Structure 1
Amino acid sequence: MSAEELLSKFDEGTQELTIKEEYQLWRKNCRYMYEFVTETALTWPSLTVQWLPNHTSNEADGVIDCKLLLGTHTSGEDVDYLKVAQTQLPANKSQQVSVKSTSPTNGKDDATKTKDSKSAHSSRVKIIRKFKNGAEINRARYMPQDSSIVATINGKGDIDLYNIDSSKDSSNSSIAQFQPHTDNGYGISWSPFQKGHLLSSSDDKSIVITDTNTKLEVFKNTTASKDIVNDSKFHPLSQNVFGTVSEDKFVHIFDLRVNADKPVSSYYSEDSKGINSLAFSPFSTNLMAIGNTNSNICLLDIRKMSSSSSDGLLHTLMGHSASITSLEFSPHKDGILASGSEDRRLILWDLSKTGEEQTQEDAEDGCPELFMMHAGHTGSVMDLNWCPYKDWTLASVADDNIVHLWEVGKSILNDKVEIDINELE
C-alpha cells in the first residue's frame, strides 16, 4: 500500500472517530436542548420525510397519534417503497429527554423504542403500509386538498400517485404513473390552489406542471435552465407563481399568467457553485430563501429580482460547512427557517435577529440569526419537515439510515430560563 493510500485510510478513520465523538457529545446534552427527541434506525436510508396532517389527540393519555411519509433508497439492492409510518408525540411538554436508538427488528421492520423520560407516549415508529416503486424515492408529498393522495418522484424521473388510505390491502402499487421527465428528479410540489396540479423538475433540465386529474401537461419549459433543475416549488400565497433553482446558479420565478417560454424574473447566485433548494415564506409574499452548494443560504426579495442579474439579494446566512440539501420555513412562526446540509447539521434560523449586535463571545458561536443547531445525525441530512400541528416540532432524515423526530426545548425558546449545566459537559 502506498504512502498516499495509508494517509487516506488514516484520514478516513480519524474522521469516523470524530463523527462518533460528536454524536456522543450530542446525546449527552440532549436534555438541555429538546422537549423530546427520538431516533429510528431504518433498514434503508430515506431521502424524504413529511408529516401527514391527519392526527388524533388523546388528552387522557397525553399523546398525539400521528403518521409520516418515508421512502427507501436501496441502490437497486432491494425493492423500493413509499412507506407510511405511525408514531406518537407527547401532547404536553416535559422537562427531560432520554435518547435511545435500536436497529430494525429482524432486519425487516423499521423500529425504535425511545421514550421521553417524563411522558407516557410511545415514540416507536412503526411502518404500517408499504407501496412499491420502480426506483429510489427522492421526494414524497401529499396533496394539500386530499392528504390520502401522495405523489413521489424517483431516480428515473417517474412520478407515481398513491392512495395511502385505500381499503384494498392487496394494492401496494401506484394508482397512476406519469413520465414527464427522462432523468432523476427531486423537485416536486402540489399547488395549494389548483387541486391536482403537480409541479416537478429533473436532471433533464425540464420543468413541468401535470394536471393529475386529466393526465395532461399544462406547463412545460425545457429552455430556462441550462443545467440540472434541483428544486421547484409553488408559492404558498400567490396562485400562479412558482420558483425553480438549478446547477447553473439561477433562480427563476414563473407566472402562469405569462408566456411559459421564459421566467418573469431571475436571480444569478454567482458564488453559489449551484443552487440545491428553495423555500417561500408562508408569511411574507416577497421573501424567498435559497440553499447553495457553497454552504450559504441567500434571502431574496422577489420584487427586486430582474431578468438575469444578482438584484434582489437581502442577506446571506452563513453557518453550515457543506452543501445545503433542504430548506423550509416554519408554518407557525414568522421568520423561522430550517436548513439541512451535507455537514450532518440541521440549523434553525431566526431572521428577526438579522443585524443585531453581538459580543465577541457570541460571535464566535455563529451569526446572530443562528437560533439552534441540531447535530444528532451522523450522515448528510437529506430532508426535513415541520410538524403542521405542533409548534417547534420537526422530522429529519439522513443518509445514515436514521430518522429523527424532535421538539425544540423551552430553555432555548425562552432565553430567560436558566440552565444548570455541569462544567464537565
Structure 2
Amino acid sequence: MSIEQLQEEANTENTIKEEYKLWRENCRFMYEFVSETALKWPSITVQWLPEHISRPDENLIESQLLLGTHTEGSETNYLKLASTQLPIQKGKVNSKIKITKKFENNYEINRARYMPQDGNIVSTINGGGEIDIYKLDDEDKKSLFHLTHHTENGYGISWNPFKKGYLASGSDDKSVWIHEISDKVNKIMSFENHEDIVNDVQWHTVNENLLGSVSDDKYMNIYDIRISEKPVLQFYSPDSDGINSLAFSPFSQNLIAIGNGNSNISLIDFRKLSITPGSQGLLHTMMGHSDAITSLEFSPTKDGIVASGSQDRRLMIWDLSKIGEEQVQEDAEDGCPELFMMHAGHTGGVTDLSWCPYKDWTLASVADDNIVHIWEISGNLLNEGVPQEVDDNELE
C-alpha cells in the first residue's frame, strides 16, 4: 500500500471518529433513548420478533431480536436469538443486547426473517445461497429444513404475510424461488428472468399473489403467482447502478420504494407500471445518502414513514407527507423537506434495519462496525417542539 493510500485511510478513520463524537454529543436532542451493543462478529441482519412482554410496573418491555454472524469462515456462523429491554416511558432499562440462543449455519447469515403467522419459525439465507428453516424453541438448535436450490450467495428472503408457509428467495444466481414450508417442503415455482444478481424479494403487503424482486440488472419485476412464471409488470431504473432493496407500503397498496446502488431512493406508483420495460410509474426520487442503499423498510405503524440504510454509515428517516414542501434557505442546506432525521451513530456501512412492530418510532440497526443500535426517536423531533436534553443516564 502506498504512502498516499495509508494517509487517505488515516484521514478517513479520523473523520469517522470525529463524526461519531459529534453524534454522541447530540444524542440527547435526537432520541428518547439509544443503546449500543458490541458483538464479536458483525451481524448483517436484524429483525424484531413480534412476541414481547410488557411490564408497566417496571417501566419496561421484554423484547427479542434476530441477529446473525459474519465470521468470514474463521469460526462457526450462527443465527442468534437476542433479548433486550425497551422503556415504556422515559427511564433507565437494561437495553444492552444479550444472546440467549444460537443455531449453527454453514455460512454467514445474510438475512433472517420470522414467519408472520408463527414467530417461532425463522428462515435464513446465507453466503452460499443456502436456506435454513429453524424453530426457535427447538432444543437441538439445528435447522428443520436445509434448501440448496440456489447455487450462489443470497440476500433475498420473504415470507408471504397471507399464505402461511409461502417463502420467496433470491440469489446471486439470478433466480427467484418460492417454496411452501409446512411439515415438508414443496416447490411452488421459480423465476429466472433477471439478467444479473437478485438483491431482494418482497411479497406485496395487500395482495397475497404478488411478489416483487429487484436486481443489479436495474429491473424491478412483479410476479403474479396465479398467472405464469414471467413478470406481469416491470420497472426499469437506468441510472440506478443496480437496485438493492424493495419495500411495499403497508398503508398504500400502490406505493413502492426501491433503494438503488447510486444512493437514491425511488418512489413508484404500482398502478402506472407496465409490462413494457421502462420508467413508467416513477413518482419521486429521494436524495440524501452518499453511497449505495442496503436496506429499506416502511414503518409498520406510521403511514408514509420509511427508513433507509446505506453504505455511507447513515440511516435516514423519511416523511413522505413532506415531499414538495417549501423550505427556507437554511433548512434546504440540511436536505430535502422529506428527510426527517439522520441516524449517524454507526461507524461502518449499515447492513440492515428493523422497525419495532409494537413500540412506535423505535428501530434496531446493524452495521459493519459490529455494533447493534437500538433507538427511539425523540418526541421533541416528532412534535417539532423546542429540543430538550435527555439525561445522560438514559443514553447507554
- Range of TM-score over shorter length: over 0.9
Partner of 2:393: none
In structure 1, list runs of 5 or more residues that go unmatched: 95-118
Distance 1:46 1:405 in 2: 14
**Residue 113 of structure 2: which of 141, 159, 177 is its match?**
141
**Residue 194 of structure 1: which of 152, 163, 172 is its match?**
163
Contact 1:61 1:120 (C-alpha < 8 Å) held by counterparts: no
Q: Deviation of residue 180 (structure 1)?
A: 2.1
- Report the 3-state secondary structure (helix = DSSP H, G, I; strand = E; otherwise coil) of the residue aligned with 1:361: helix
Contact 2:29 2:387 (C-alpha < 8 Å) held by counterparts: no
Distance 2:323 2:164 in 1: 37
Q: Which amino acid aligns with 2:173?
A: D
Residue deviations 1:323-353 (CA, integer Å, cap 9, x gap):
0000000001100000000000000000000
Aligned residues: 388
Moved over 4 A (4+): 418-421
Q: Deviation of residue 256 (structure 1)?
A: 1.2
Q: Say whether residues 1:176 and 2:138 are aligned partners.
A: no
| Correspondence 1:264-283 to 2 at 5 A | 264-283=232-251
Partner of 1:253: 222
Distance 2:228 2:98 in 1: 47
- Report the 3-state secondary structure (helix = DSSP H, G, I; strand = E; otherwise coil) of the residue aligned with 1:238: coil
Residue deviations 1:199-241 (CA, integer Å, cap 9, x gap):
000000000001112412101011x100000000001111100
Residue deviations 1:56-109 (CA, integer Å, cap 9, x gap):
0111110000110000000000000000001100011x2xxxxxxxxxxxxxxx
- Report the 3-state secondary structure (helix = DSSP H, G, I; strand = E; otherwise coil) of the residue aligned with 1:283: coil
Partner of 1:102: none
Provide the identity percentage.
61
Partner of 1:112: none
Distance 2:203 2:251 in 1: 14
Q: Say whether residues 1:24 and 2:17 are aligned partners.
A: no
Q: Deviation of residue 419 (structure 1)?
A: 4.4
Contact 1:157 1:179 (C-alpha < 8 Å) held by counterparts: yes
Partner of 1:66: 63
Distance 1:276 1:302 in 2: 18
Higher strand share: 2
Distance 1:417 1:318 in 2: 27
Residue deviations 1:291-329 (CA, integer Å, cap 9, x gap):
000000000011111120110000000000000000000
**Residue 185 of structure 2: which of 215, 229, 246 is its match?**
215
Q: Which amino acid aligns with 1:30?
A: C
Partner of 1:394: 363
Distance 1:355 1:124 in 2: 39
Contact 1:138 1:154 (C-alpha < 8 Å) held by counterparts: yes
Q: Deviation of residue 179 (structure 1)?
A: 1.4
Distance 2:181 2:56 in 1: 39
Partner of 1:298: 266
Q: Deviation of residue 144 (structure 1)?
A: 0.6
Q: Which amino acid aligns with 2:115?
A: M
Q: Which amino acid aligns with 2:19?
A: E
Q: Say whether residues 1:242 and 2:248 are aligned partners.
A: no
Partner of 1:203: 172
Q: 1:33 to 1:134 in 2, by over 3 A?
A: same
Q: Which amino acid aligns with 2:335?
A: G
In structure 2, list runs of 5 or more residues that go unmatched: 391-396
Q: Which amino acid aligns with 1:153?
A: I
Distance 1:400 1:160 in 2: 26
Distance 1:420 1:409 in 2: 10
Distance 2:18 2:33 in 1: 22
Q: Say whether residues 1:413 and 2:382 are aligned partners.
A: yes
Distance 2:389 2:143 in 1: 52
Q: Deviation of residue 253 (structure 1)?
A: 0.7
Distance 1:162 1:142 in 2: 9
Q: Deviation of residue 129 (structure 1)?
A: 0.2
Deviates more, 1:280-289 or 1:303-312: 303-312
Distance 1:215 1:47 in 2: 26
Partner of 2:394: none
Distance 2:92 2:213 in 1: 44
Distance 1:411 1:418 in 2: 6
Q: Deviation of residue 176 (structure 1)?
A: 1.2
**Residue 310 of structure 1: which of 252, 257, 279 is its match?**
279
Partner of 1:151: 123
Q: Which amino acid aligns with 2:142?
A: S
Q: Say whether residues 1:75 and 2:45 are aligned partners.
A: no
**Residue 93 of structure 2: which of 121, 131, 148 is its match?**
121
Question: TM-score, normalised on structure 1?
Answer: 0.90
Q: Which amino acid aligns with 1:283?
A: F
Distance 2:245 2:336 in 1: 21
Distance 1:120 1:250 in 2: 46
Q: RMSD over aligned Cα, in angstroms?
A: 1.1
Distance 2:371 2:214 in 1: 27
Distance 2:172 2:5 in 1: 32
Q: Deviation of residue 123 (structure 1)?
A: 1.4
Contact 1:326 1:382 (C-alpha < 8 Å) held by counterparts: yes
Partner of 2:314: 345
Contact 1:387 1:395 (C-alpha < 8 Å) held by counterparts: yes
Distance 1:419 1:353 in 2: 24
- Report the 3-state secondary structure (helix = DSSP H, G, I; strand = E; otherwise coil) of the residue aligned with 1:10: helix
- Report the 3-state secondary structure (helix = DSSP H, G, I; strand = E; otherwise coil) of the residue aligned with 1:23: helix
Contact 2:381 2:387 (C-alpha < 8 Å) held by counterparts: no
Partner of 2:81: 84
Structure possessing the higher relative contact order (Cα contacts under 8 Å, 6 or more residues apart): 2
Question: TM-score, normalised on structure 2?
Answer: 0.96
Contact 2:36 2:96 (C-alpha < 8 Å) held by counterparts: no
Partner of 2:35: 38
Residue deviations 1:253-290 (CA, integer Å, cap 9, x gap):
11112111x10110110100100000000000010000
